[in-house]
A and B are shown apart, each in its own frame.
Chain A
Amino acid sequence: MNRFHGKITAITSSGNISLVDAEVAGKPMSAIVIGTPENTAYLRAERDIILLFKESEVSIGKNLQGQISLRNQLDGVITEIISGQIFSKITLDIGNGPLVALVTTRAAQRLQLQVGDQVTAFIKANEVILMDPENG
Chain B
Amino acid sequence: METVLIEASFRKKLFTATGELTLDVNFAVQQGEMLSLFGPSGVGKTTILRILAGLTEADEGFLRVGNDVWFDSAKKINLPARKRPVGYMFQDYALFPNMTVRENLRFAQPAHDIRHLEELLELFDLTTLQHRKPDVLSGGQRQRVALARALARKPEILLLDEPLSAIDPQFRAKLQDEILEMHRRFGVTTLLVSHDLPEVFKLCSRVLMLEAGKIVKQGNPYNLFGENKISGKVQLMAEVLRVEKEDIVGILTLMAGNTLMKVAVCDQERQNYRVGDKVVIISKAFNPVIRKIS
Contacts and interface: CB of A to CB of B under 8 A. Distances in A.
A15 interface: no
Interface in A95-136: 100, 102, 126-127, 129-132, 134-135
B217 interface: no
A100 B228 CA distance: 27
A104 to B, nearest CB: 10
A42 interface: yes
Contact of B247 (A87, A126, A135): A87
Interface in B64-123: none
Given A1-B269, A55-B266, A100-B266, A129 B231 contact: yes
A129 B284 contact: yes
B232 interface: yes
B233 interface: yes
Interface string A36-51: 0000111000000000
Given A82-B248, A83-B248, A87-B248, A42 B284 contact: no
A25 B293 CA distance: 46
B226 interface: yes
B178 interface: no
Contacts of B230: 129-132, 135
Interface string A64-83: 00000000000000000011
A89 interface: yes
B284 A126 contact: yes
B266 A32 contact: no
A131 B231 contact: yes
Contacts of A32: 286
B166 interface: no
A40 B231 CA distance: 9
A88 to B, nearest CB: 7
A134 B231 contact: no
A129 B249 contact: no
Contact of B266 (A34, A83, A89, A129): A89
A41 B267 CA distance: 33
Best-buried of B231, B233, B266 by chain A (most CB within 10 Å): B231
B224 interface: no
A126 to B, nearest CB: 4
A33 interface: yes
B229 interface: yes
A35 interface: yes
Interface in A11-35: 31-35
B282 interface: yes
Interface in B266-289: 266-267, 269, 282, 284-287
Nearest to B282: A129
B264 A135 contact: no
A87 B249 contact: yes
Interface string B215-253: 000000000001011111100000000000001110000
A126 B286 contact: yes
A71 B13 CA distance: 60
A85 interface: yes
A85 B267 contact: no
B264 A56 contact: yes
A84 B284 contact: no
B231 A35 contact: yes
A31 B231 contact: yes
Nearest to B228: A40
Given A130-B230, A131-B229, 17 more contacts: A1-B266, A31-B231, A34-B231, A40-B231, A41-B229, A42-B229, A55-B266, A85-B247, A86-B247, A87-B247, A89-B266, A100-B266, A102-B249, A126-B284, A127-B286, A129-B230, A129-B232
26 contacts: A1-B266, A31-B231, A33-B284, A34-B231, A40-B228, A41-B229, A55-B266, A82-B248, A83-B248, A84-B247, A84-B249, A85-B247, A87-B249, A89-B248, A100-B266, A126-B284, A127-B284, A127-B287, A129-B230, A129-B282, A131-B229, A131-B231, A132-B229, A132-B230, A134-B229, A135-B230
